[in-house]
Structure 1
Amino acid sequence: MAKRSLHTKIVGLTLSLSFFIILLLTIYFTYMNGKQIVEDRGRLALELSKTVSLMPTIIEAFETDNPSGTIQPVVEQIRQKTGAEFIVVGNKDGIRYSHPNETEIGKKMMGGDSQRALEKGEYYVSQARGSLGLSMRGKSPIFNEDGDIIGVVSVGFLVEDIENQVAKVLSKEVVISLLVLIASIVGSNLLSKSIRKDTLGLEPYEIANLYKEKNAVLHSVQEGILSVDQQGMITSMNQRAKSLLGIRGAVRHSKVDDLFPSHHLYEVLKTGEPKFDKEITWKEKTIIVSYTPIFDEKSVRGVVALFREKTEIEQMINALSEMKTYSEELRAQTHEFTNKLYALSGLLQLGEYEEAIIMIQGETSELQFQNQIVFQQIKDTKVQVILLGKLGKASEKKILFEIDSESYIEKLPEHINLSQLTLILGNIIDNAFEAVYGSNDPIVNFFATDLGEDIIFEISDNGTGISDEDLPVLFQRGFTSKDGENTRGYGLSNANKAVKELGGIIEVHNGKENTVFTVYLPKKV
């Protein structure tokens, strides 16, 4: 079924209501006016008949030999002045003494509605058909000086004339009603155009669809989104923004000032110029905020703020960096194996078959041992990927990277993701490689187990160790023991932060012969 447009709905509803109301009012006022006209004519007829019945001339004429000669001229003059259709005066027997048509004088009054006046002396209004047609009549008895009823006065207005007057009133009301209906049509069209202008020409169902889509997009994105109007009142905020700002409950139509530092937001409202990647600190979080103004036809209507946590961006960068490092390490491993293949090819070409066999057996046994541990005892693919990359890097740097034969872990819980694991293991193992690089017999050992409630990773090296002065600041951001390098000092800090996010801890044991980093990650959050 096709959806009706807003214009059709507004015009249709307005016209229907207007027509219905106008019709009701027209019927009501026509009925009331018609009733009023009938009552007025009846009242006028009655008053005229009373007036004529009390005239001394009329009463005295009844005592003369020719009452009609006196009464007819008098009542005809009154009739012409008042606009009555007829004024008939009759005696007690209903014989006419006056009539607009003189030929009817002397004949009996018609209609049969004079008994109450002649017999009971009542004054009243009646409706009856006489010689001139159906009429509204005022009836009054005529009394002599002794109080006896000697005749009756009947003053009438034709019903046809009354109906014609009502029709004239109705025609005026119909004209007025049509003018009102036309005004309703014009007004509804103007209203429809005004509403469509405010809604940018969109239909209500299109606005509803946009609202649903906006909500779906608002709550599906990973960034926090907040929008405010010109007064700084919040118009929308997604759950991610609430999480980043530490807000609970509904905030719509609340002032933005108390929720987070909003001076940049008000600057954008004032100037209309966007601001990007502004750092704010709120509730021990460093948040990157971008502000974009919302414009209407003339001015800034509001601002949209986009929130991103700085640590998340850093983690993403670090994870990408680690992935790049693994890629380079795998290329190095490929390069090393290529060199070994060239060496093996040389031995075969020189006929040094025993040396070639020893070389193949050595490489095979070493690979089989490593692969057995990595693929059969380490059953989590994320850890496997990290270890394979580090094995290649160790081989290139001529470092003995040993994976303890007692290592064993099942698939890690879902809340431990690859980027976090890369930050933890990758940075600690790289730190161990750097500690032993260049020494006479560089060895780095790796051990992993998931027995108990925690997952434990242990990385040890036989490097130079860590000084007692450096231990307290080992995990501080920017700290490095390498002289003259200002681009380092973030690896162990990032690893420690990732461990804390997973609810774990890192322990450091600085022995005489080796340095041991032990990571404890709880299996349950």
Structure 2
Amino acid sequence: MRRIRGWSIAAKLFALQLAVIVVLAGIAVALIWADARADVERDAVSTTMAVAQTIANDPFVVAAVQGDDPSADLQPYAVDVMREARIDFVTIMAPDRVRFTHPDPAEIGRAYLGNIDRALGGEPFSETYTGTLGPSVRSVVPIEDASGGVVALVAAGITVSTTQVALGARIATVVIAAGVMIALGALGAWLLSRYLRRVTWGRGAEEMSRMFAYYEGVLHSIGEGLVLQDDRNRVVLANDRAVELLGLPKPAGRDAAPAALETLDLAPAVADVLARDDAVVDEIVITPTHVLVVDRDVIVSRERPGDRGARRVGTVTTLRDHTRLQELTGELATMTTLSDALRSQAHEFANRLHTIIALIELGRTEEAVELASSELALSQALADRLLSAVEEPVLLALLLGKAAQAGERGIRFDVDLPERLAATGIDPRETITIVGNLIDNALDAAATTPAPAVDVAIDTRDRCLVVAVADSGPGPAAGARVFDLGVTTKQPTAGGGDHGHGIGLALVRQSVARLGGALEVDGSRFEVTLPLPAAAATVRPESADA
């Protein structure tokens, strides 16, 4: 049994098919043999009955059985009939069973072995009986005189050995046909087993089952999303991570039918990628909740390596979630901006300090005091305004950094704030993504104008945080489509920035959607409305009265 378990699927199938074919062939031979035997016996009964009736109706026989010496007249007659009719015996007897004829002359005068009761009653019949010549098929017919009385009986028979010889000739043909059938069936089973061995790589059923369990475990445990599609781009399989990233319905089971893309509630960007027939490498796709990096390979089937007759059987798509990476990248960019601005200001302050020292050494103290005071007032005014109004540390740092960055680039940067902006309770990462990208976009757009300026207005109303960013540029030509992945406000001929090559505002839209907010674009003015969390909305009025 253990050896059989180790067989490949192809070997097991071949053995099973061969066994089934042999059994079916054996059953067919048995049925045909039984039918042939019945035919032979029917032929024997028909032949013996015809011979016996012919003899019983022969006037010579009727006269001889009533003569003085029936055996002398009938024995030669019976021998001739047996030879001409090719039967094994003809026994003519008296009603008391005494034989007048027999193939063995020594049996003449002895009692006939067999049933004669029905014949004595005037009814011919046939039976299989074991007599002096062995088992035989015999027919017994009464011999009647002119008045209808039974004066003798005639029995004609064919021994079973003779019927078996006739049956053997017919069975030989059946056995040959069965052998040919087994050979053809075995050939077909062997060809099928070769095909199965090729497509299963010679693996057994238990091994295939273990491989399936291992692969399914790996499929559902990996951190990347995996989507398998057939040659018609229908989704055949999606692991748990892909279901989570794409918002797909949970699979109904292993036997679930492939799902067409049109029946799935996929983000348009994802549906466009999955509907394609070509390979994809590191393509960024933004859904309302995730930033995905998509890789897609086309799977082809070959009978053997190097086969030119390859055909496309489907695709394998992997999905990597870069949402957190993009958030961290935005935070790092903000910190880098602030660090660069501080480094640049330190350098500028060093230059101004050297200038002030030089003016003092030249004895021009008034000019030195005026220069130092003016620079201190200009740099400190915005910082004091922000520090006094903004209680959100992340938003405060972000605005300070962007103000320094604008000053370095020569862009006027104005911030309109209420008297006091309490902590919003919004996720700081979302704040960095939304405000940072909007200001970066405005700075890049304003840098291409003659009088660059950026205006930022932040306020709370109706339990919502409202952030409006406007610049001195003409505004995006794409309108609301500027929030689509790959659409940028960069002017190719102006030399300005492209603010993230079309991904920054797409991330803004994603974050706003995740927070349940709204976006509006009016020329170069971008306005974001974000609902405040319940706790922040409740605390805010008290802090405003403090």
- 2:41 aligned partner: 38
**Residue 133 (str. 1) matches residue 134 (str. 2):** yes
Q: Deviations over 1:202-241 (max 9, x none)?
A: 778579779979997999659x99764xxxx555588999
CA drift of 1:294 comes to 4.6
Contact 2:8–2:203 (Cα < 8 Å) also in 1: no
Contact 2:334–2:398 (Cα < 8 Å) also in 1: no
- 2:29 aligned partner: 26
- 1:390 aligned partner: 402
Gaps of 5+ in 2: 249-259, 266-270, 284-293, 354-376, 534-546
Q: Deviations over 1:65-120 (max 9, x none)?
A: 22111100111122133332211111222211111111111222222x112212x1
**Residue 519 (str. 1) matches residue 521 (str. 2):** no
- 2:359 aligned partner: none
Q: Secondary structure at the match of 1:136?
A: strand
CA drift of 1:39 comes to 1.9
Q: Secondary structure at the match of 1:128?
A: strand
Cα distance in 2 for partners of 1:70, 1:492 equals 128
**Residue 108 (str. 1) matches residue 111 (str. 2):** yes
Higher relative contact order (CA 8 A, sep 6+): 2
Do the aligned partners of residues 235 and 160 (structure 1) sit closer, same or farther apart at CA in structure 2, a change above 3 Å counting? same
Contact 1:90–1:151 (Cα < 8 Å) also in 2: yes
Cα distance in 2 for partners of 1:370, 1:187 equals 86
- 2:465 aligned partner: 455
Q: TM-score, normalised on structure 1? A: 0.63
1:486 aligns with one of 495, 502, 512: 495
Cα distance in 1 for partners of 2:66, 2:521 equals 143
Matches within 5 A, 1:17-416: 17-111=20-114, 113-118=115-120, 120-163=121-164, 165-166=166-167, 169-170=170-171, 173-197=174-198, 205=208, 221=225, 228=231, 234=233, 248-249=262-263, 294=300, 296=302, 297-299=307-309, 301-302=311-312, 323-324=332-333, 326-327=335-336, 329-331=338-340, 333=342, 377-378=391-392, 383=395, 386-387=398-399, 389-390=401-402, 393=405, 406-412=420-426, 416=430
Do the aligned partners of residues 504 and 157 (structure 1) sit closer, same or farther apart at CA in structure 2, a change above 3 Å counting? same
Do the aligned partners of residues 208 and 318 (structure 1) sit closer, same or farther apart at CA in structure 2, a change above 3 Å counting? closer
Cα distance in 2 for partners of 1:508, 1:160 equals 112
Q: TM-score, normalised on structure 2? A: 0.61
Contact 1:289–1:305 (Cα < 8 Å) also in 2: no
Do the aligned partners of residues 117 and 372 (structure 1) sit closer, same or farther apart at CA in structure 2, a change above 3 Å counting? farther
Contact 1:456–1:519 (Cα < 8 Å) also in 2: yes
Amino acid corresponding to residue 378 of structure 1 in structure 2: E
Contact 1:124–1:140 (Cα < 8 Å) also in 2: yes
Q: Deviations over 1:132-155 (max 9, x none)?
A: 233221101112233322100011
Contact 1:424–1:496 (Cα < 8 Å) also in 2: yes
CA drift of 1:18 comes to 1.9
Cα distance in 2 for partners of 1:473, 1:170 equals 93
Amino acid corresponding to residue 148 of structure 1 in structure 2: G
Q: Deviations over 1:300-336 (max 9, x none)?
A: 634978999xxx99xx999968855743542553676
Contact 1:85–1:158 (Cα < 8 Å) also in 2: yes
Cα distance in 1 for partners of 2:137, 2:478 equals 117
Do the aligned partners of residues 436 and 474 (structure 1) sit closer, same or farther apart at CA in structure 2, a change above 3 Å counting? farther
Amino acid corresponding to residue 486 of structure 1 in structure 2: G
Cα distance in 1 for partners of 2:446, 2:89 equals 130
Contact 2:94–2:152 (Cα < 8 Å) also in 1: yes
Amino acid corresponding to residue 27 of structure 2 in structure 1: L
- 2:538 aligned partner: none
Gaps of 5+ in 1: 252-258, 269-273, 279-287, 345-361, 511-515
Question: Number of aligned pairs?
Answer: 449
Cα distance in 2 for partners of 1:99, 1:184 equals 52
Cα distance in 2 for partners of 1:209, 1:384 equals 54
Amino acid corresponding to residue 100 of structure 2 in structure 1: Y
Contact 2:300–2:310 (Cα < 8 Å) also in 1: yes
Contact 1:333–1:393 (Cα < 8 Å) also in 2: no
Contact 1:474–1:492 (Cα < 8 Å) also in 2: no
Q: Secondary structure at the match of 2:87?
A: coil
Cα distance in 1 for partners of 2:185, 2:523 equals 88
Q: Secondary structure at the match of 1:108?
A: coil
Identity %, equivalent residues = 16
